Amino acid sequence: MTDQKKSPAEQEKVGVYICHCGSNIAGTINVEEVAQWAEKNPNVVVARNYEFMCSSTGQELIENDIKEKGLTRIVVASCSPHMHEKTFREATERGGLNPFLFEMANIREHGSWATNDKEAATSKAKALVNGAVERVVHHAPLEKIPVDINPNTLIVGGGIAGITAALELAEGGHHVYLVEREGTIGGRMAQIDKTFPTLDCSACILTPKMVDVGQNDNITLLTYSEVESVEGYIGNFNITVRKKARCVTEELCTSCGICEEKCPQKVIDENYGAGISYRKAIYRSFPQAVPGYPVLDKENCTYFQTGKCKVCEQVCPTEAIDYEQEDKVITFDVGNIILATGYDLFDARQIPQYGYGRLANVFSSLEFERMVNASGPTAGHIVLRDGVTEPESIAIVHCVGSRDQNHNEYCSKVCCMYSLKFAHLVHEHLPDAEVYNFYIDMRTPGKGYEEFYHRLLNEGTHFIRGRVAEITDADRHPGEEGKLIVQAENTLLGIQQRTPVDMVILSAGIEARHDAEDVSKLFKMGCDHDGFFNERHPKLAPVSTMTDGVFIAGACQGPKDIPDTVAQGGAAASQVAKLISQGTVLMEPVRASIREEECSGCRICNTLCPYNAIEFDEEKFVSRVITALCQGCGTCVAACPSGVIDGAHFTYTQVMAELKGVLWDVQSDVLTKQEVA
Amino acid sequence: MSDHFEPVIVGFLCNWCSYRAADLAGTARIKYAPNLRPIRVMCSGRVDPQFVLQALRSGADGVLIAGCHPGECHYVNGNIKALRRFTLLRKTLEQWGIEQERVQLLWASASEGTVLAAAVNRMTEELRALGPLRWGEKVLGDNGAAHLVVEEV
């Protein structure tokens, strides 16, 4: 465990470079003082301070010093290694040293930016620089590990994000496995009637893309399927998918739809139909479904529940119905994964004072969306729950479940715009109806969005600025009789207002999928507090995740409208395409290795590894790390009772040296082993 | 030197969550106690209890181990292993008379710069109140506990 080498001081020549970062660092930290102080360390040959170390001149300083002064180790004290470690490793390499003989001290994010106390910041900077110097002398040259990229890609989720990504990759000649939980691709966009602000028919612009997916030879479409397990790492994932039995033989089915037509069992369509329409027990969510094969819903099928019926089997002209069909487990390998699992709509029942589920004529936005859709249950007619009465007045309530401390603090981004769209659709379908939009703030950022709002202002919509307190059917005077009364403070007039209407639409917000956390665990990447998948960097890496080779697109990352979702689908596809065309990636050599000759064979490490990357050699009675599987977390390194597992670049010696280095100024009272003895 | 005591805290911050939380605290210009001296580890699961002992022995007044929230670990569950070791270590330290506040475990995700900054402030206050650790007196004192000394690097 102890370094048996000669004292590093005799061997290594360290160059230290303190960056001013303009005034970002130098404004708080006395960089000259730190540099002069650092030069006193016996290992340090040269210590400089320079205005911008990341500039080409700054990097050349390092390169020249390596060549001219024979430096063997480099320390740069500047920003976070997450910002510029790569930059300076490359400069170190250009100077002729192995890039891992470099260490960074983070004196900006962790130093000058975190305090106004100049003295304390300077002292902290010295500690961090000293820690880096003491650590870097123990660094060993390392080589990055090349990994081949399997050119196939897994895309999870067949909404518009997944469809876009799949088509981009497939049209570029790469094979894609597109896995969708439902019986058809299309996702949320397939449920929507019109898209804002252009009022394009949603299905009209979506279905051609769905057809393209169905017809593209490079896409293996796995609908009514779910990913069960994911093993491996970037370039080499092994995927297991369960293809649920739909009781229809795909090879025989011609998608004629007779089974659906003749099926005697009606079921409320909770999913695609938002609970306001029926489907059959054997069904396609909508006529343009891709693939066109129906799904038999065993839970509601008369045959599966009572043993009698089999109407679908009798009417099927190609004998495609197969009641005995079982789930299929399919495994395949991919190099990259794109998650485009979409969102759940906020369940408005969680706000009881809005009466959804209790007051018949309070509708959720998705219910209204289906109702106003020409292919919906009322063929596009806007009617009350009784199915016939046209409402004379409609209230649209924004921010239901969004911007609400009790539910979701964030803004769901799309609700203002779709609420405006609803108002427009009401004006279009029921020109005499009064429309009231209750909003907190009108949020319409986007191309053509504000203009759409102005259009609505001229269409006669009543805009009332105020959060709705309550929706009730308890009338106070004859004018409110039989109506729903929307109680809200009109914050522009400063008055409490009761607005009697016939119908209320609750513009529910976007939430992470209820099972997003399970999915994130399956793919070994993180969720934020709201359950949305975490991107690698909020600004600069919005579709990458902390797990290499796993990308995210669309509303699974956060609330988004269709244009942003499509853009992310494309961005994720281009990230994957980049990796495929690279062919190989170089992975950080931060990996564990076991010194077999000293391993006692206790096997403690074997079960600790979350990646099953440690195998046990029964013959030699030692454990061994499978380097390709090791992700470099170092858990086994910390656990080995014999201390014979080395965690490259985070060795015991390196961390201990850094630790002592950062504590340089408080070590006076330390007793060494010899002193104690 | 004034009589005012400023504790020194060593922070073992995981690369994926807590180190980034500290980065974010800086980027957002959240000012917090400059008493933390961060050391980056890939995972809180890498924190060998010996690191903590060595830090205390080498003059730190406290050690903060910070990792991703349970369920959010970049390495699946390294933070849970850290929690396990931390619990055991703190028991041991307690038996040596080392106050609980001196070794703390924190979950801070990459977006929680404020959480990390607040934890450092709180811990700094707690350690100011406790005063210097004096490892030599406490652990090595006169009870012949020399065998507890961490092996020299």
Q: Is residue A612 part of a domain?
A: yes
Q: Is residue A435 part of a domain?
A: yes
pLDDT at B130 over 50: yes
* The last residue of a domain, from among A111, A142, A173: A142
**Same structural domain for residues A428 and A293?**
no
- Tokens of residue A549, six digits: 């080779």
CA of A108 vs chain B CAs: smallest distance (Å) = 7
Contact A440, A399 (CB under 8 A): yes
Contact B152 A672 (CB under 8 A): yes
Average pLDDT over residues A449-470: 96
Q: In b/e form, how buried is each residue of A622-654, taking b as 16+ CB within 10 angstroms? A: bbbbeeebbbbbbbbbbbbeebbbbbbbbbbbb
Q: Is residue B47 part of a domain?
A: yes
**Same structural domain for residues A199 and A331?**
yes
Place B37 in a pLDDT band, splitting at 50, 70 and 90: very high
Quick one: residue B52, left, alpha or beta (phi over 0 = left, psi -120 to 50 = alpha)?
A: alpha
Contact B23 A521 (CB under 8 A): no
Strand-pair category, A336-339 with A153-156: parallel
**Same structural domain for residues A572 and A605?**
no
Q: Is residue A676 part of a domain?
A: no
Give residue-wise pLDDT tens across range A577-630.
999 999 999 988 999 999 999 999 999 999 999 888 999 999 999 999 998 889
Quote the number of domains for chain B: 1
**Same structural domain for residues A269 and A392?**
no
Contact B58 A131 (CB under 8 A): no
Q: Is residue A187 part of a domain?
A: yes
Q: Is residue A518 part of a domain?
A: no
Contact A663 B57 (CB under 8 A): no
* B74 vs A321, residue with greater confidence: A321
Partner A contacted by B43 (CB < 8 A): yes
**Same structural domain for residues A351 and A275?**
no
Q: Is residue B153 part of a domain?
A: no
Rounded distance between C-alpha atoms, residue A617 and residue A584, angstroms: 30
**Same structural domain for residues A281 and A385?**
no
**Same structural domain for residues A372 and A499?**
yes
Contacts of A124 in chain B (CB under 8 A): 34, 37
Domain range for A360 is 344-511
Q: Is residue A528 part of a domain?
A: no
For A125, the closest chain B residue by CA position comes to B37
C-alpha angle A616-A594-A605 in degrees, rounded to nearest 5: 55
For A134, the closest chain B residue by CA position comes to B153
Average pLDDT over residues A14-36: 97
> How large a percentage of chain A has pLDDT more than 70?
97
ipTM of this predicted structure: 0.93
Quote the number of domains for chain A: 4
CATH (domain of A25): 3.40.50
Q: Is residue A536 part of a domain?
A: no
User: pTM (2 decimals)?
Assistant: 0.85
Contact B153 A676 (CB under 8 A): no
- Which pLDDT belongs to residue B2? 52
CATH (domain of A626): 3.30.70.20
- Tokens of residue A140, six digits: 């060993």
pLDDT at A275 over 50: yes
**Same structural domain for residues A27 and A82?**
yes
> How large a percentage of chain B has pLDDT more than 90?
74
CATH (domain of B47): 3.40.50
- Which pLDDT belongs to residue A3? 43
**Same structural domain for residues A505 and A376?**
yes
Contact B136 A669 (CB under 8 A): yes
Contact A647, B45 (CB under 8 A): no
* Number of cross-chain residue pairs from A and B with Cβ atoms under 8 Å apart: 175
**Same structural domain for residues A359 and A448?**
yes
Give residue-wise pLDDT tens across range B80-124.
999 999 999 999 999 989 999 999 999 998 888 999 999 999 999
- Which pLDDT belongs to residue A112? 97
Rounded distance between C-alpha atoms, residue A492 and residue A479, angstroms: 24
- Which pLDDT belongs to residue A677? 40
Contacts of B109 in chain A (CB under 8 A): 526, 528-529
Q: Is residue B2 part of a domain?
A: no
Q: Is residue A5 part of a domain?
A: no
**How much is the mean pLDDT over chain A?**
94
pLDDT at B1 over 90: no
CATH (domain of A261): 3.50.50.60
- Which pLDDT belongs to residue A8? 53
Amino acid A308 reads K
Rounded distance between C-alpha atoms, residue A123 and residue B12, angstroms: 19
Ranges A77-91, A145-159, B130-144: which has the least confidence: B130-144
- Residue A325: Cβ within 10 Å count: 15
Q: Element (H or E) spanning A247, and its range? A: none
Q: Is residue B39 part of a domain?
A: yes
CA of A567 vs chain B CAs: smallest distance (Å) = 24
**Same structural domain for residues A209 and A243?**
yes
> Cis before residue A291, ω within 30 degrees of 0?
yes
- Which pLDDT belongs to residue B141? 66
Q: How far is CA A100 from CA A447, B2, B20, B57, in A?
A: 47, 42, 21, 29
Average pLDDT over residues B131-139: 84
- Residue A303: Cβ within 10 Å count: 20
**Same structural domain for residues A26 and A164?**
no
Contact A81 B40 (CB under 8 A): yes
Give residue-wise pLDDT tens across range A493-535.
999 999 999 999 999 999 999 999 889 888 877 788 888 998 9
Domain range for B48 is 9-148
